[in-house]
Amino acid sequence: MKPLLAAVLLFLASAAAAAGRMPPPRAGERVLILAPHPDDETLCCAGYISESVRAGAMVSIVWLTSGDGYKRDAIEVFDTLFPGPAEFRKLGAMRMDEARAAAATLGVAPRDVYFLGYPDGGLLRLFDENYLRPLRSATTAWDAVGYGAAYRPGAPYTGLALKKLLSRIFRQVRPDLILLPLLSDEHPDHLATSLFGKDVAAGLGLSGRVCGWVVHSGYDWPSPQGFYPDYPLTAPGANYHWLSFRLSKKDEALKKAAVSAYKTQMLTMRRFLLSFVRENELFSCDGGVW
């Protein structure tokens, strides 16, 4: 092994070892994952999901948006420089199909996945200026959920309506563990998902059951970028107490297969997506879930 590579591996292993250990999932446990977009649930938590299913836990996934606002994807998928509402709506439907395939790869039952269909790129506005007044999506031109396969088609694009839907799902699932983005995640939709999720959890007395994860933390994280399954995922810059969950080789392979199910995303973000297929996943828990 080259000296520089050996030094890098030693540094990464030391950084990963500094994190505590995420306790393993338990039989009968109810795990609820809030994902801003289709693929986030796989990047953050695929190993934990597959191990949870294998342990006999019940895993549910909620996607707040259908990923229908990513212009670069629409340009690539539909071979047009000027995608319009029709293309973005088709993109959202495609990404929901990819999410179903990824979830199935990880062992999550179809009855346990929920697509809310809210506007990609607009979630933070729903928490503030559009809490009561419907937002019109800049890409799909909808001001209410337009996907027939969504949890509640026709629900208005307001923060209040989104909060009510999340509250309904929380009561239905009755989670023992809630996995959602941390407030430090740099994507506005991820921040909004954290705000909505924490708000609903607090209202139901579930704040002590929340753990967070990060997908967006600087242009060069995860480092190194690319497919390095034998490298540990090291903590991003945020000052949290991190818990590391170690993936088996089987779960690493399942995670790579689930990531690869996102064919539209792999067209434009392959290197970034594969950067999350590592030997561990990282979580930070508020107040101690355990």
Closest-CA residue to 98 (of 250, 289, 264): 264
Q: Is residue 91 part of a domain?
A: yes
Question: Domain limits at 90?
Answer: 3-285
**Domain assignment of residue 22, yes or no:** yes
Instruction: Check pLDDT > 50 for residue 15.
Output: no
Q: Is pLDDT at 14 greater than 80 in this prediction?
A: no
Domain tally, the chain: 1
- Residue 290 domain-assigned (yes or no): no
pLDDT at 18: 53
Look at residue 24 and tell me if it is in a domain. yes
| Structure-model confidence comparison of residues 31 and 8, the more confident one | 31
Dump pLDDT digits (tens) for 177-188: 999 999 999 999
Residue range 269-284: mean pLDDT, rounded: 97
Cα 218 to Cα 72, 166, 221, distances in angstroms:
20, 29, 6
Q: Is residue 185 part of a domain?
A: yes
Average pLDDT of span 210-217: 96
Q: For residue 237, what pLDDT band results from cuts at 50, 70 and 90?
A: confident
Note the pLDDT of residue 239: 74
Evaluate whether residue 82 is within a structural domain.
Answer: yes
Q: What are the two backbone dihedrals, phi and then psi, of residue 250, each rounded to the nearest 5 degrees?
A: -65, -45
Closest CA to 211 of 281, 288, 282, 285: 285
Is the residue at 94 inside a domain? yes
β-pairing, 58-65 vs 210-213, is unpaired
CATH code of residue 188: 3.40.50.10320
